[in-house]
Amino acid sequence: MIEINISPVAFTIAGFGIRWYGIFLALGVTEVLLWTLWHVRKSTRVSYETVLNAALVGIPSGIVFSRLLHVLDEWDYYSQYPSLIIGGDGLTIYGAVLGAALGIWVFSRFSKVSFGYLADIIAPGILLGQALGRVGCLLNGCCYGVECNLAWSVMYSNPETFAPIGVPVHPTQIYEIIFLLIAFVILMFLRGRFRPDGSLFVIYLGIYSIWRFGIGFLREGRAFFFDMQQAQVVALAVVALTVYWIAFRSRWVGTKPEDEEILPPPPPPLPPEASNSGEKTSR
C-alpha cells in the first residue's frame, strides 16, 4: 500500500490557496499549446497567429463545457446551492476536450482553417496534457478509485485531500497516466496514416472513450444512467460516433508523416518556342 500525505494546496498567495491540481492543469494546457505551435512551425496551412487565436477560443469554451458537465453530474447538490455553479472546483475531461473542440471548430469556420488538419496535429499533445492533469488529480485526491486491498493501492492521509482518509483505493489516476502514455505512442505511430483530415483526432476520441468507459467501473462516482456514471454514458455515445467515422469515412493511406506538407505540383515546362526565345534573350 502506498500512502499519500501531500497537501493538495501547493502554496498560498494573499490567503488564496494554489492547488497542485490547478498547477498541473495549467501545465497540461500549456503543453498542448506548445505542442501545436511546434508542429505548425513549418506548415503553410496554419500559422502561429492562427493557433494562438484558436487557443483564445478553445480554452475558455473547454472550461465552460467542462464545468457544465460537472454541474449536470452533481445537479442534486448544485440545485440546492446555485451560487456555487460558477466556479472552478469541479471539471470534467470530456467537457474540456469536447468543449474546446467545438470552440475551435466554430473558430475554423470563420478563419477558413481546416479543423480536421489542426485537430490531427493537436491530438497526440492532448494525451500528454491529460497525463499532466492526472498527476494533479493524484496529488489532489480527486478521481480516486473504489476501495481495494491490492499491494499497489493508495491511501490518502492528509486532512485536506478530496479522497477518503485512511481508506485504500485503486490508484485510478496512475492507471490512466500509464494508459495515456501508451495511447500517445499509438497515436504517434498512426500519424499521417489515415485520411481525411480529422481521422487521427477521431481515433484519439475513440481510444480514450473505450478506456474511460472501462475505468469507470474502478472509479468512485455517482450513478447517472443504468448504474453508469455520466462519463461512461458520454463515452458510449462518443465510441458509437467514432466507430461510424472510422468505418465509413476514414481510409488507410500508408506511411506519409502527418506534418509533411502537401506541395502543389510543379508548373508544366514551357513550350519549346518560349524556351528558345528565353535563351536568346539571356544571351
Pick the range with the lowest mean pLDDT from 37-41, 92-96, 191-195, 208-212: 92-96
Q: Mind giving me the DSSP string for 190-244? A: HTTSEESTTHHHHHHHHHHHHHHHHHTTTB-----BTTB-HHHHHHHHHHHHHHH
Give the pLDDT band (50/70/90) at residue 272: low
pLDDT at 271: 59
Please write the tens of the pLDDT for every residue from 86-128: 876 778 888 899 999 999 999 999 998 999 999 999 999 999 9
What average pLDDT score do residues 164-180 get? 96
Single pTM value for the model? 0.86
Give the pLDDT band (50/70/90) at residue 261: very low
Residue 50 CA to residue 276 CA, distance in Å, equals: 45
Give the pLDDT band (50/70/90) at residue 171: very high
Please write the tens of the pLDDT for every residue from 62-89: 999 988 888 887 878 888 888 878 876 7
For residue 25 the three cell numbers come to 492543469
Pick the range with the lowest mean pLDDT from 81-90, 111-120, 190-199, 260-269: 260-269
Residues 6+ apart with CB under 8 A from 204: 123, 124, 126, 127, 183, 187
pLDDT averaged over the chain?
Answer: 88
Residue 175 CA to residue 238 CA, distance in Å, equals: 21
> Is the omega angle on the peptide bond into residue 196 within 30 degrees of 0, that is, cis?
yes
b/e string for 137-155 if b means 16 or more Cβ within 10 A?
bbbbbbbbbeebeeeebbb
Q: How many residues appear in the chain?
A: 283
Residue 37 CA to residue 49 CA, distance in Å, equals: 9
Please write the tens of the pLDDT for every residue from 129-145: 999 999 999 999 999 99
Give the pLDDT band (50/70/90) at residue 146: very high
Q: Is the pLDDT of residue 263 over 50?
A: no
Residue 189 CA to residue 258 CA, distance in Å, equals: 10
pLDDT at 92: 84
Give the pLDDT band (50/70/90) at residue 242: very high
pLDDT at 256: 57
Q: How does strand 194-195 pair with strand 251-252?
A: antiparallel
